[in-house]
Amino acid sequence: MNYSSLPKIDLHCHLDGSVRPQTIIDLANEQNISIPSQDINEITSLMIAPETCQNLDEYLMRFDLPLSVMQTQAGIERISFELFEDAAKENVKYFEVRFGPQLHQLQGLSFDQIIGSVVKGMQRAESMYDIKGNYILSILRTFPKDNIRDVIDAGAPYLNKGVVAFDLAGAELPGFCSEFIPYVDYAIEKGYRITIHAGEQGVGQNVFDAVSMLKAERVGHGIHITGHQGAYDLVKQQNIGLETCPSSNIQTKAVDKLSEHPLKAFYEDALPITINTDNRTVSNTTMTDEVRKVMQEFSLSREDYFNIYKISIEQAFASDEVKQHLMSFAD
């Protein structure tokens, strides 16, 4: 099977975890930022989270280096463009990328400048390649909450013009959802779609809460519904999209090895699973790699692949017009 030529949809990818290592070096030099090395191999290995990570918290330490060069409009625009370019070159036809606007204010950029820059980079790639995309705004769960409404307000003018959804990311503690109800309600009122990272670090109840309290239409990872019947049933009844990210899930110890990933069992039980990258650089992966690994490990057929591709279309926060375009690539 030629995995590279398959049409693909990635609904869960973080901008800051997917920066080309060479771009980190280039931007650091341009911006006079000191980085640990000028050697691309060293920078690459500093960016990749090892398989020996103990948990998500250790995985999340890999983001400081890319974020150090993502504090100017030009740097952010370039990184956004390059990520969409990389994806287009491996036949990703639709790409939802997320990032945390709160992480890009170290040199005083406004949320409007930050969101405008990612959208501009994406649109430049859309004009050059056969790829369509949208951005998701992620709020860091561990950050102070006083500027969450400002992020939502700044993204609102871009809704359906490059921005589509709201997400909660970062370290996952049991019971995190209740504190975020007013913010998610505010985002929904403004017109955002909702996806929430939940059930990545062992707590199925968080998935139940994300769907019931935060009205999540999709869940990032969601693996631990396996240990929580209520969450499992709710996901199934409400057709909640599960954004699985196999390589990342191994690094963060959400699963011990790929063969233990529940995605095949979910698929066989008709849960709406999707296959995604999470972080191309930090997880040292591409959509082609994720698709190949999953299809080989679980002996999925071409028909299975296109069933999952169609689930991704159904679960995408894209316009009907884009969804129709994506259907034209389906088998």
**Catalytic residue positions, numbered:** 200
Q: How far is the CB of 64 from ligand 2ND (least distance, A)?
A: 9
Q: How far apart, in whole angstroms, are the C-alpha atoms of residue 207 and residue 203? A: 8
Q: What part of residues 214-233 is at the interface with Zn ion (CB under 5 A)?
A: 220
150 is annotated as contributing to ligand binding? no
Taking CA atoms, 90 is separated from 32, 45, 85, 86, 314, in Å, by 33, 23, 9, 7, 21
Q: Which residue is nearest to Zn ion (CB)?
A: 278
221 is annotated as contributing to ligand binding? no
Q: How far is the CB of 152 from Zn ion (least distance, A)?
A: 19
Task: Quote the DSSP letter at residue 285.
Answer: -
16 is annotated as contributing to ligand binding? yes
Crossing angle of the two packed helices 229-237 and 204-212, in degrees rounded to 10: 40
- The string of DSSP codes covering 235-282 is HHHTT-EEEE-HHHHHHTTSSSSGGG-THHHHHHTT--EEE--B-TTT
170 is annotated as contributing to ligand binding? yes
Which partner from the list Zn ion, ligand 2ND, none does 18 bind, CB cut-off 5 to 8 Å by kind? none
Q: How far apart, in whole angstroms, are the C-alpha atoms of residue 254 and residue 293? A: 17
User: Where do contacts with ligand 2ND occur on this chain (CB under 6 A)?
Assistant: 14, 16-17, 56, 60, 63, 98-100, 103, 138, 169-170, 197, 200, 248, 278-279
Q: How far apart, in whole angstroms, are the C-alpha atoms of residue 213 and residue 126? A: 35
Amino acid at 64: D
Residue among 76 and 254 whose Cβ is closer to Zn ion: 254
Which partner from the list ligand 2ND, Zn ion, none does 104 bind, CB cut-off 5 to 8 Å by kind? none
197 is annotated as contributing to ligand binding? yes
Q: How far is the CB of 139 from ligand 2ND (least distance, A)?
A: 9
Residue among 75 and 220 whose Cβ is closer to Zn ion: 220
Binding-site residues for substrate, in ranges, read: 14, 16, 170
Interaction site with Zn ion (CB under 5 A): 220, 278
